[in-house]
Amino acid sequence: MASCPVAESEIEEEIKLGSYGGKVRVLRHDEESAAEETMLLWGMQQPTFSKPNSFVSHSSLQLNLDACGHCLSILQSPSSLGTPGVTGSVMWDSGVVLGKFLEHAVDSGLLLLHGKKVIELGSGCGLVGCIAALLGAEVTLTDLPDRLRLLKKNIETNLRHGNVRGSAVVKELTWGDDPDQDLIDPFPDYDYHSNVGAVLGSDVVYSEGAVVDLLDTLVQLCGAQTTIFLAGELRNDAVLEYFFDAAMKEFIVGRVEQTQWHPDYCSPRVAMYVLVKK
């Protein structure tokens, strides 16, 4: 694996952020940090040299995955991939990685979701939200209006049995628009006495235009101590650098090392970050 010319110790320090009990590598808040982090990711993980879709198949009508003692069957719509701008009709590795990370973090005692308010952005097929509900969270899964039919079907199929610890509802949400009041009142906050909450997103950083609307929505949804968990495929270094640069104006951003992910669900094509408001 090729080494990156940027020394990791010069970019970040390891601390705990928000409700996640593991240590993350926090990006420095300066004008060079976004470019350095992007260069470091591509140098360390070399995503272009690894096979995509290690955990999913875009030609299959469903994805089967064991999680939280359940066998989840997530329906997909491969034919919809031909529609411009539609990517949420199938699963991507980053969604599987994030969902299994949440399960692993809860099992390891590094994260508490039981009884907590959680919002998922760009839910797509709904795997991550289903896993969060199985871990005991009160989850609101959100996406664009034309994505909700498949999302609702997967929620009903996988969470209809009576031994689900949490709950899940589906709501329409367009990034950049004002969210419904019930999404932000109360905020999905946490404190050490009552509520631990999170905002989740997998593969939500894919264009500069989407980054602007995504961050606008995150600012509206998040209280002072809301914890955000984002996982994404490493495809476009310019878009990712743009995201880091914009996000660090509003949030503290920390990278979760793959040593803290579920050991069976790691990929050099995926990166994961925890964010909290400054």
Provide the percentage of residues in the chain whose pLDDT is more than 90: 77
Residue 265: Cβ-neighbour burial (10 angstroms; 0-12, 13-18, 19+):
buried
Q: Quick check: is 117 in a domain?
A: yes
Rounded-to-integer distance, Cα 236 and Cα 48, Å: 10
Q: Quick check: is 30 in a domain?
A: yes
Chain CA centroid to CA 55, Å: 16
Summarize the chain as % helix, strand, coil (round to 5). 35, 25, 45
Number of domains in the chain: 1
CATH number for the domain harbouring residue 227: 3.40.50.150
Instruction: Give pLDDT tens digits for 231-250.
Output: 999 999 999 999 999 999 99
Q: Quick check: is 5 in a domain?
A: no
pLDDT surpasses 60 at 10: no
- Reference 113, options 189, 198, 182, 194; nearest CA is 198
Range of the domain at 111: 14-277
Q: What number is the average pLDDT over the span 220-233?
A: 92
pTM of the model as a whole? 0.91
Q: Quick check: is 1 in a domain?
A: no
Q: Quick check: is 3 in a domain?
A: no
Q: Quick check: is 216 in a domain?
A: yes
Q: What angle do CA 278, 241, 176 make, to 5 degrees?
A: 60
Q: Quick check: is 97 in a domain?
A: yes
Per-residue pLDDT band for 82 (boundaries 50, 70, 90) equals low
Q: Quick check: is 241 in a domain?
A: yes
pLDDT of residue 184: 77
pLDDT of residue 194: 32
